[in-house]
Amino acid sequence: MSRLLVLLYGAIAYLIFLPTFLYAIAFVAGIAPKHIDAGPAAPLATALAIDLALLGLFAVQHSGMARPAFKRWWTRFVPVAVERSTYVLVSSLALILLLWQWQPLPQTVWQVDATPARVALHALSALGWVLVFTSTFLINHFDLFGLRQVWLYANNRSAPETPFVVRALYRIVRHPLMLGFLIAFWATPGMSVGHLLFAVITTGYILVAVKFLEERDLVAQFGETYRDYQRRVPMILPIPKRAAETRHPAAGAPYPRA
């Protein structure tokens, strides 16, 4: 692939991702033209089956393509420089499918009517999304979404090794990006059955994927340095570690990309 085409491919993947993700925020918040509770309601069993299949497809794609073994196999056929951009592109397509085909389950689970409480919950949800975006830049936003890789390739430069560094929010929790998602998904004044299904399944997926997949890969990559980090800093919830768990000093200190 020519260097210009690689750069163009990475830019297109990002330009598909960005509006899709912004629409997803509006989808969850209930302010998009087609949001999590909007649209004709299918029979309960049908809606549940479709929504679970969509969430499952996204989870399998999102975690499967992020694993080192898949990356090694995939980069036998495509330049290493476009591996991350391809991941971003396919993830965006899976998310578009979910947003398009999601079946609403609008029955109310809880409803907060008091204006101050509603404003507070909306603000908390917005804070969650701000935390998500902020966390991507604390890692390296352009590396996370493949832009740095295609830019370096286009300029005939190799990517340097990513150091293990802990900064800002990553000193409080190991995965502030995921904490942001959880806050954004759960902080709502009106919880429907469909929104609750979405929040429960995505929460379970985040906890399982982070603990048993992503953290395993990070330990394999950074070894004792990351184990020390695990002992010192909680995974997602900012609950201080007990003294017995923090007796090991920091071995290193940007947080590696997922």
Mean pLDDT of 38-63: 95
pLDDT of residue 115 exceeding 60 = yes
Written in H, E and C, the secondary structure of 225-250 is HHHHHHHHCCCCCCCCCCHHHCCCCC
Q: What are 210-227's pLDDT values in tens digits?
A: 999 999 999 999 999 999
Cβ atoms of 50 and 103 within 8 Å: the answer is yes
Where does the pLDDT of residue 255 fall: very low under 50, low under 70, confident under 90, or very high at 90 and above?
very low
Mean pLDDT of 5-30: 97
Mean pLDDT of 10-29: 98
What is the tally of helices (H) and strands (E) in the chain?
11, 2
More confident residue, 234 or 254: 234
pLDDT of residue 241 exceeding 80 = no
Mean pLDDT of 98-118: 96
pLDDT at 256: 41
Cβ atoms of 59 and 205 within 8 Å: the answer is yes
The token pair that represents 191 in the structure block: 């919880």
Where does the pLDDT of residue 79 fall: very low under 50, low under 70, confident under 90, or very high at 90 and above?
confident
Cα–Cα distance for residue pair 109/117, rounded to 1 Å: 17
Residue 174 is given by DSSP the state S
pLDDT of residue 8 exceeding 60 = yes
pLDDT at 1: 57
pLDDT of residue 250 exceeding 80 = no
pLDDT of residue 245 exceeding 70 = no
Average pLDDT, the chain: 91
Mean pLDDT of 49-63: 97
Cβ atoms of 160 and 214 within 8 Å: the answer is no
Mean pLDDT of 40-52: 94
Chain position carrying tokens 């476009």:
82
More confident residue, 79 or 135: 135
pLDDT of residue 59 exceeding 60 = yes
Question: Coil, strand, or helix at residue 109?
Answer: strand
pLDDT of residue 185 exceeding 70 = yes
Question: What's the predicted TM-score (pTM) here?
Answer: 0.91
